[in-house]
Structure 1
Amino acid sequence: MILTIDVHYKTDYAKTVLLFFENWQSETPSNVVTHITKDVMEYEPGSFYKRELPCIMNALEEVSLEELEAIIIDGHIYVDNDGKYGLGGHLYEALDKKFPIIGMAKTSFQSNTETVVEILRGESKNPLFVSAIGLEKEVVAHHIKNMFGEYRLPYLLKLMDQITKEE
């Protein structure tokens, strides 16, 4: 089982979506869980994880992670080439390093070029930036590149994004 997570911020709360799917070739989710967090921290430049990580951890308390192979987040594992953690690295630590974390971002940092693999999907000329902790980033990039869907974002990740933004 693979889990992908995203958080969308509303005026007075955050909506976290957990979308589970069976394997890298899945075309449909096996389960979707939404969680609302009321007391959301303000955004702190350079420390985005401090805002997002509590929302993710609260949502994860509602589900079983027993058969989980990996977790995909919308973001980076590392924010620089020296291994400084981004959201994905902090999530890995918060989960006691039990689950590999995959970061998939639509934008890059100039300071983390060595910690990501750029992939192109579909007809897009804009790469996705894939990183990982607990798995080899090149293996993960191959999986993401070959996920179901013909566009830049794999179908299930785009679906999760759409669900996250629904009222």
Structure 2
Amino acid sequence: MIIAVDVYYEEDKAKSVGVIFQGWGDSKPLEIITSYTENPLEYETGFFYKRELPCIRELLKPTDINQIHTIVVDGYVYLDNEKKPGLGHYVYTEFSEKIPVIGVAKSSFHDNEAFVKKLYRGKSTKPLFITSAGMELSVAAGHIQSMYGEFRFPHLLKLLDKQTKETRL
């Protein structure tokens, strides 16, 4: 199974959502899971993972992690051309580097071209920025390219974004 994860923050709470699906071309999730974190850490420039990783860890606690073969995060695996670790890298190391992680970002990050693949989907002239750990970058980009949906953002990732922000905390 594959799980795509995202976190939404509001004042002193965080809502984490995971969309679980079987295959890259799936149009519907197998399951959507949610968890809430009280008083998440404050955002610290350059250290986004410190805020996000505890929420993702909490979200995945009840999941049989042995059934997950890939994790997709909203963000980057590497933040620059020197491979400065981003959220995706920390998620990858959280699980002993046994579960590949794909980062899908909507905007570019300064000085970050070496380990990023720009991916154009649908008729969009604006790319997604794909990074990966534990999986060849071209394979990771191919997986995101093959996801269901005709628009720039794959259908299940759009569903994840909507679910994450849908109900106020």
TM > 0.5? yes
> Residue 150 of structure 2 aligns with which residue?
150
**TM-score normalised according to structure 1 size:** 0.97
> Residue 12 of structure 2 aligns with which residue?
12
> Residue 98 of structure 1 aligns with which residue?
98
Answer with 8-17 or 155-164: which moved more.
Answer: 8-17
**Counterpart AA for 1:22:** Q
> Residue 141 of structure 1 aligns with which residue?
141
- How far is 1:30 from its partner? 0.3
**Counterpart AA for 1:132:** S
Counterpart Cα distance in 2 of 1:61 and 1:69: 16
> Residue 62 of structure 2 aligns with which residue?
62
Counterpart Cα distance in 1 of 2:103 and 2:85: 11
- How far is 1:102 from its partner? 0.4
Per-residue CA deviation, residues 14-66 of structure 1 (Å, 9 max, x unaligned), is: 00001100011111000110000002000001111111011001111121112
Counterpart Cα distance in 1 of 2:26 and 2:147: 8
Counterpart Cα distance in 2 of 1:159 and 1:58: 21
Answer with 106-115 or 27-36: which moved more.
Answer: 106-115
- How far is 1:110 from its partner? 2.4
Counterpart Cα distance in 1 of 2:23 and 2:91: 21
Q: How does 1:101-112 map to 2 (within 5 A)?
A: 101-112=101-112
**TM-score normalised according to structure 2 size:** 0.96
**Counterpart AA for 2:2:** I
Q: Give structure 1 stretches of 5+ with no counterpart.
A: none
Runs (4 or more) in structure 1 with deviation over 6 Å come to none
Count of residue correspondences: 167
1:76 match: secondary structure: coil
1:112 match: secondary structure: coil
Q: Percent identity?
A: 44
**Counterpart AA for 1:139:** V
Counterpart Cα distance in 2 of 1:80 and 1:117: 13
Counterpart Cα distance in 2 of 1:129 and 1:27: 22
- How far is 1:166 from its partner? 1.2
